[in-house]
Amino acid sequence: MTIHDTLVRPLVTEKGIVKKEEERTLCFQVSKDANKIMVKQAVEKLFKVKVAEVRTANFEGKLRRRGKFTGYRSDWKKAYVKLVAGQKVPEFTEM
């Protein structure tokens, strides 16, 4: 699995921006098959920073309806990546 397969996209939410500014923690949607070591290596290689800690969370897809039709959203995985003190935090949230 390549680094672009591991990291699906950065999650830009209010909670994610606060964590980034106060705790030096980045938030990503990652592949369901990725483990913490793969996420750490991908972030270090892609952004050229040192990672202190990785936490992951699995989310089950929610039931959604459109009229009489029902279905489920896809399951997905989120990773919180904490950087080592002194590392520059990448700015992918600027507009």
Distance CA 12, CA 21 (A): 12
95 pLDDT band, cuts 50/70/90, is very low
Is the model's pLDDT at 76 over the cut of 80? yes
- pLDDT of amino acid 94: 53
Is the model's pLDDT at 89 over the cut of 90? no
Q: Which CATH number is 18's domain given?
A: 3.30.70.330
**0.75 exceeded by pTM:** yes
> Looking at this protein, which amino acid is placed at residue 26?
L
Q: Considering the domain boundaries, does residue 26 fall inside one? A: yes
93 pLDDT band, cuts 50/70/90, is low
Q: Considering the domain boundaries, does residue 34 fall inside one? A: yes
| 18-27 pLDDT tens trace | 999 899 999 9
Q: Considering the domain boundaries, does residue 32 fall inside one? A: yes
Q: Provide the number of structural domains found in the chain.
A: 1
Distance CA 34, CA 76 (A): 11
Q: Considering the domain boundaries, does residue 95 fall inside one? A: no
| 3-52 pLDDT tens trace | 899 999 999 999 988 999 899 999 999 999 999 999 999 999 999 999 99
Whether 41 contacts 1, CB under 8 Å: no
Whole-number Cα distances in Å, 54 to 18, 25, 65, 72, 73? 17, 9, 34, 28, 25
